[in-house]
Amino acid sequence: MAEQFDVVIIGAGPAGYVAAIRAAQLGLKTACVDAFVGKDGKASPGGTCLNVGCIPSKALLDSSKHFHHLSAQYKDHGIQASDVRMDISTMLGRKDKIVKNLTGGITQLFKANKVSSYAGLGRLLAGNKVEVTQHTGGDPLLLEARHVILASGSTPISIPNVAFDGHYIIDNQGALDLPEVPKRLCVIGAGVIGLELGSVWKRLGAQVLVLEAMDTFLGACDQDIARAAQKEFKKQGLDIRLGCKVQRAEVKDGQVHVSYLDKDGEKVEIFDRLLVAVGRRAMTDGLLGDNTGVVINARGQIEVDAHCATAVPGVWAIGDCVRGAMLAHKGSEEGVAVVELIAGKAGHVNYSTIPWVIYTEPEIAWVGLNEAECKAAEIPYKIGTFPFAAIGRAQAAGDTSGLVKVIAHAETDRLLGVHMVGLNVSELIAEAVVAMEFHASAEDLARIVHAHPTMSEAVHEAALALDKRAIHRMN
């Protein structure tokens, strides 16, 4: 007989585990099924993000940043260091410890909130039943719930004639565990994953070539910001080539031969490792049994309405396996919204104010519409920009790269978008998100007192610049 729950969630990534905790807080009897297994062979909740994505990549970015600063930049501060070396195994060990701490924290949160946790592969059956194939073996378990939430996440996309082998040709997970710094690393894809992991190994000494099929760098980003970022990456020695379409990759004698087409024809280059980072797709393979009624679209995503409900009453889907940005915080908020709707509350996600961040150095962050989107939608707009080079805190920190760009409606002054590239903009973007969530105008940002000296003053000055009122630069 199936065990009964109010809510059963398949997937314990940022969408699923947050939904489970919030459901339990609301008094719903909740179960969460997750298939992820850690390096130690044990259940490891947290999904791609905590295990092999957001968190471990940030740990390596931080380690490589310290190494690069000590070996190349600290002399400007009067700090002398010689024979600076990176112990890769220690760096990876630190990364793994952080992952273990956080995934273990989810396990403890499940216990504290009385969420029933199942380690195994979950599959939705007809009638709001979930079959669990346990890691420990034995007969599958059967769970039944008034509501089932599908939060199965995503998986890396492969490309034709480039087959992952887990050693020479790798995805993001493989790039997090390279045992040594490759002399030459090729990255296919100049997106978030490619730029972040390419930056890690470049700082540690690898020669990194990034091949991007598109002719535009960071096409989803405001192009003023993208150009400023590309300029900084070029200074750092990150070789980014646009309009390059990879044809095939072959491993020969312990090296990867990569063939690609650019405007001059076909070229072949040889590397020690090849990272394929061309995006991710919804992980829905094997998720559904027969006759569930849940619809999978042509892109492999679960079809949902504006409130994340599928066509089947009581079945919902959230996170990377549905439409929209594949961002951990987007999935988390969808999880909260869905269980609040289930509990009879007013769950809601404002998709127009979801922030985006790329954790390179300099960081890139934005929220809302960019200039090209305003033009395409024929929205009258005005812009204000301000460079970090004119900010005292940036000068003191020794990092003056980048700028802030504020876009507002030309007639109403309502904020339409805020875009940044520079030091710690992953944190600065929160001010813009809050302002836009409360329907602020550019004048509101311009009138708010910002502490001096801080990096946030660039946001203030960019808002002032919309009306040619910036103080610390010529208008």
pLDDT of residue 188: 98
Query: Nearest 5°: phi and psi at 305?
Result: -90, -170
Q: What is the mean pLDDT of residues 46-54?
A: 97
Q: What is the mean pLDDT of residues 339-355?
A: 97
Q: What is the pLDDT of residues 16-39, one digit of tens each?
A: 999 999 999 999 999 999 999 999
Query: Nearest 5°: phi and psi at 59?
Result: -65, -45
pLDDT of residue 1: 74
Q: What is the mean pLDDT of residues 455-471?
A: 97
pLDDT category at 273 given cuts 50, 70, 90 is very high
pLDDT of residue 136: 87
Q: What is the mean pLDDT of residues 164-185?
A: 97
Q: Which of 167, 348, 439, 452 is catalytic?
A: 452
Q: What is the mean pLDDT of residues 241-251?
A: 98
> Looking at residue 441, what DSSP letter applies?
B
Q: What is the mean pLDDT of residues 246-268?
A: 97
Q: How far apart are CA 59 and CA 359, in angstroms?
A: 11
> Where is 372: in which H helix or E strand?
helix 371-376
Q: What is the mean pLDDT of residues 301-330?
A: 98
Instruction: Judge contact between 256 and 272, C-beta under 8 A.
Output: yes
Q: What is the mean pLDDT of residues 274-303?
A: 96
Number of other CB atoms surrounding residue 141 within 10 Å: 17
- Cα–Cα nearest to 36, from 181, 177, 163, 153: 153
According to DSSP, the residues that pair with 271 across neighbouring strands are 256
Strand pairing category for 30-34 and 116-125: parallel
* 68 assigned to active site: no
pLDDT of residue 113: 98
Q: Count each helix (H run) and each strand (E run) in the chain, helices first.
A: 13, 21
Mean pLDDT score of the chain, rounded to an integer?
Answer: 97
Query: Nearest 5°: phi and psi at 474?
Result: -70, 140
pLDDT of residue 17: 98
Instruction: Judge contact between 43 and 120, C-beta under 8 A.
Output: no
Is 224 in a helix, a strand, or coil? helix
User: Which domains occur in the chain, in start order?
Assistant: 3-156+281-349 (3.50.50.60), 169-278 (3.50.50.60), 354-465 (3.30.390.30)
pLDDT of residue 173: 96
Provide the greatest CA pair distance for the chain: 74
pLDDT of residue 151: 98
Q: How far apart are CA 164 and CA 245, in angstroms?
A: 18
